[in-house]
Amino acid sequence: MYLSSFCKTIRHIYLNYHFGEKSSRWINSTLTRHFQFAFRMFIAFVFASFIAYGSILKNHFSLKFMIPNMTILLIQETFGLTLLTNIQLIFIIIPLSIFLYLLQKFRLIYYHYLLSEFFYLLSSLIISYKCPQVPTRKLSLLFNSIFFVTIINQEQVPRFFAFELLEEFVIGMLISIIVSLIIFPLFATFDIENRINYSLSHLQQMYDLIIQAFLCEDQISANVYLSRANIMEKMIRKTMITVQSRFSEIYYEPSRLLQRLSNRKRRNIIDLTLQGLNFFTLY
C-alpha cells in the first residue's frame, strides 16, 4: 500500500498531474515548477551541445552553436506550446530557406549591399506579416538575419547554406520536442484540469466564508471572513488567468490518450458533462 502510494506521488510529480488538496503544497509549488523547467532546459542544452560538438556530425555543421541555442529558445512551458511553436516555425522557415537559396544561387546578394538590404527588409516584412505569434516571429527573423549576416561577412559560403541552416534549426526543434515530452513534461491537458480542480475546491471554501460572514453577529469577525474570502477569490482569478491560452495548446497534445492513461476511474473534472456535452473533455 505504501509503495503504491509512493509510486503514485512520484508519477504526479513527474507528470505535473493533480493540483489539489490531496497532495502536499511543496509538490504543487511554484518553486517546484521552476526547478522542473530549469532542469528541463539544462538537459536540453547538454543533449543539444553533445549533438553539435561531441557526435560524429560535428564536422557537418557550419554553425554548431545554433543547435543548443535554438533548442533552448524553442522549449516552452507546456508540451503543447512547444509543439505549436515548432509547427508554426517550420511552416515559415522552409519556404524562407527556399527563397534564400534562390537568392544565393542566382548571386543576387553577393557584394551587393543595397540589394541585400532590400531583400532582407522584404523577407523580414513578409515574416512579420505572416507570423501570428511573437516567439515564432522572432525565431524566423533570427533565421533570416543569420543568413544575411553570414553571406555578407564571409567570402566563402557553402552552396546550400540556407538548407544547412534549416537543418540545424530542425535538429534543435526535434531535441526541444523530445526533451519537453520526456523530462518533467507539463501537458496543457493536465494543467487545465489541475487549475479547474483547484478553483472548484477553493470556491466552496470561499462560499463558506461568505456565509459565515453573513451569519456572524460580530462585525469585526464578519470583516475577517470577508477579507479571507477576498484573498481566496484573488488566488482563484490568478489560477484561471492562463486557462484560456491553454485551450489552443491541447489540440497539439494526445489529450484523449492522456485522459485514458491517467484518469482510468473517470473521477476527475474532465469527465463531467454539462447538458449532455463533454464540456471539459479535451480533444
- What are the pLDDT tens digits along the chain (283 aa)? 567 766 777 777 777 776 544 555 555 667 888 888 999 999 999 999 999 998 888 888 888 899 999 999 999 989 999 999 999 999 999 999 999 999 888 877 766 778 888 889 999 999 988 887 888 999 999 999 999 888 876 667 788 889 999 999 999 999 999 999 999 998 888 888 888 888 888 888 898 899 988 888 888 888 998 999 999 888 888 888 888 888 888 888 887 777 776 665 555 544 444 333 343 443 3
Helices (H) and strands (E) in the chain, counts: 11, 0
Query: Are 198 and 216 contained in the same domain?
Result: yes
Query: Are 228 and 153 contained in the same domain?
Result: no
Query: Are 203 and 221 contained in the same domain?
Result: yes
Which grid coordinates are listed for 64?
554548431
Q: Is residue 221 part of a domain?
A: yes
Q: For 30-68, give one letter per residue: b (16+ CB within 10 A) or e.
A: eeeeeebbeebbebbbebbbebbeeeeeeeebeebebbb
Query: Residue 232: which of 213, 257, 248, 251 has the closest Cα?
Result: 213
Query: Are 175 and 109 contained in the same domain?
Result: yes
Angle subtended by helix axes 161-182 and 79-105, to nearest 10: 170
Supply angle C-alpha 75, 247, 273, rounded to 5: 140
Of 139, 161, 182, the domain-final residue: 182
Q: Domain of residue 120: give its range.
A: 39-182
Question: How many domains in the chain?
Answer: 2
Of 151, 182, 213, the domain-final residue: 182
Query: Are 52 and 142 contained in the same domain?
Result: yes
Of 155, 182, 209, the domain-final residue: 182
Residue 146 near residue 63, CB atoms below 8 Å: yes
